Amino acid sequence: MITDTTTRYSEPMTEIPWAHHPPAPRITAVHTGIACGVLAVAAGTLFEVRPPEAYGICMACHGRDLVNWTINQMAGAHLTVAPASLVYPVLTTIGVLLGGWIGARTSGEFRWWTPDNPVKLFVHGLLVMNFALLAGGCSIRLLLRTASGEALGMMGFAGMAIGVVLGTFWLRWRATR
């Protein structure tokens, strides 16, 4: 039986026995940033996730590679993929989904949640992917390219920062109107 001191959530995952262990060590965003930085540089330079350069972690490009690689294999199409995933696919998308699921299950944070307006978020996802492929990377890879010293990456990251600032102002204006 679970006492209130061992679980922080009202709805424990009773079917997962290892979900009731004491809470995992607290991981901050700084830990995650450092770990992801090490992994991204190592994957991009030492473990053949190249070319293009600074390609270690990118949610948009790797998602595109996986989708296009799958369609190319199944339908014999010739959609664009990065040279890094020409023969075998890159699986960052699946890995992150798996890792996030493991983290949510082990901490008891997994919860089904139905959205109010899924169409709006579908359109947001569509737009973010198209803008990201236009810029040559999602927010993570734009920062990675900036760190690697590429001039285009710096321009993209600056554009992204301006976009976030204006988007935040828009959100605040809409909330306080």
Partner 1 sequence: MTATVTTLVVGVIAGYLGQRSRMCFVGGIRDFILVRDTALLKGLVAFGFTAWLLFPLAVVLTGDGALRFGTPDVVAAALTIVGGFGVGYVSTLANGCPLRQHVLAAQGAGSSMAYLAGFLGGALVFHVWIVGLIARLLP
Q: Is residue 155 near partner 1 by the rule CB under 8 A?
A: yes
Torsion of CA 137, 143, 145, 147, to 10 degrees: -170
Residue 168 lies near partner 1 (rule: CB under 8 A)? yes
Among 2, 8, 119, 177, binds partner 1 (CB under 8 A): 119
Q: Which is nearer to partner 1, 1 or 115 (CB)?
A: 115
Please choose, out of 2-10, 14-22, 126-134, the segment that lies near partner 1 by the rule CB under 8 A.
Answer: 126-134
Q: Which is nearer to partner 1, 1 or 119 (CB)?
A: 119
Tell me the closest approach of the beta carbon of residue 13 to partner 1, in angstroms: 11
Nearest to 101 by CA among 164, 19, 40, 162: 19
Sign of CA dihedral 151, 157, 163, 168: negative
- Look up residue 80 and give its amino acid: T
CA angle, residues 50, 43, 32, in degrees to nearest 5: 135
Q: Determine the straight-line distance between the first and last CA of the chain, rounded to whole angstroms.
A: 49
Distances 124 to 22, 96, 115, 136 between C-alpha atoms, Å: 37, 20, 14, 18
Interface positions, 12-71, toward partner 1 (CB under 8 A): 24, 26-49, 51, 53-54, 56-57, 59-60, 62-64, 66-68, 71
Closest to partner 1 by CB, 1 vs 80, is 80
Which range touches partner 1 (CB under 8 A), out of 2-10, 14-22, 146-154? Answer: 146-154
Report DSSP state, residue 25. P
Supply the minimum distance, in Å, between the C-beta of residue 81 and partner 1: 9
